[in-house]
Amino acid sequence: PGTAHLDPGARMGLAAAAQALDAAKLDPTAWDATRVAVVTGCSVGGVHTQRTAAARFASDGPERVSPYFLTGYLPNMVCAAIALHLGATGPTLNVATACASGATALGTARDLLASGQCDIAVVVGADAAVTPLMVTGFSQLRALSDHCSRPFDRARDGFVIAEGAGALILERPE
């Protein structure tokens, strides 16, 4: 399937997964797809897709909203898109724990491997949510830094909002 209907965060997640698989020298056509898990950490989903659909709804009416709106908007669609692209049919799930989503996905994948539910886990953290409304929301919470990201500094004053994706491949020891 194509990726045009996917939100930028999902497309970044797909690219990160492909890079991680390449670095791990794994070929999706050579593995037992039932033993491959895809675990993503995506906290907010397709914010850009939602924004576009809302604008189209307001200007042109409901009949002009893309039928792919929900498949681009829901947070679990990052995971679904990666699993479909790779042909992975093992455990497939998304975790949403705000800024810790990627780290939570990593822990969840480790648990799946340790319990024997999979042999390979494709772990991806991806979010693309920098829109005027999201920036306003975090600003109203006084969560944004006026300076730089310093999470372990006693003088920290918030975080720096950004978009991106990263991926790791975990495997059971042989």
In a domain, 148, yes or no: no
Q: In this predicted structure, what is the pLDDT of residue 20? A: 98
| Residue 165 bridge partners (DSSP) | 126
In a domain, 152, yes or no: no
Task: Give per-residue pLDDT as tens, 122-167.
Answer: 999 999 999 999 999 999 999 999 999 998 999 999 999 999 999 9
Radius of gyration for the alpha carbons in the chain, expressed in angstroms and rounded = 18
In a domain, 32, yes or no: yes
> Number of structural domains, the chain?
1
Distances (CA, A) of 90 to 79, 112, 117: 12, 10, 8
For the chain, give the mean pLDDT: 94
Is 81 a residue whose pLDDT tops 90?
A: yes
Q: Distance between CA 83 and CA 72 in Å, rounded?
A: 15
Choose among 170, 160, 151, 165: nearest CA to 79.
Answer: 165
Q: In this predicted structure, what is the pLDDT of residue 136? A: 96
CB 50 within 8 A of CB 131: no
Task: Give per-residue pLDDT as tens, 47-65.
Answer: 988 999 999 999 999 999 9
Give me the CATH number covering residue 19: 3.40.47.10
Global pTM reads 0.91
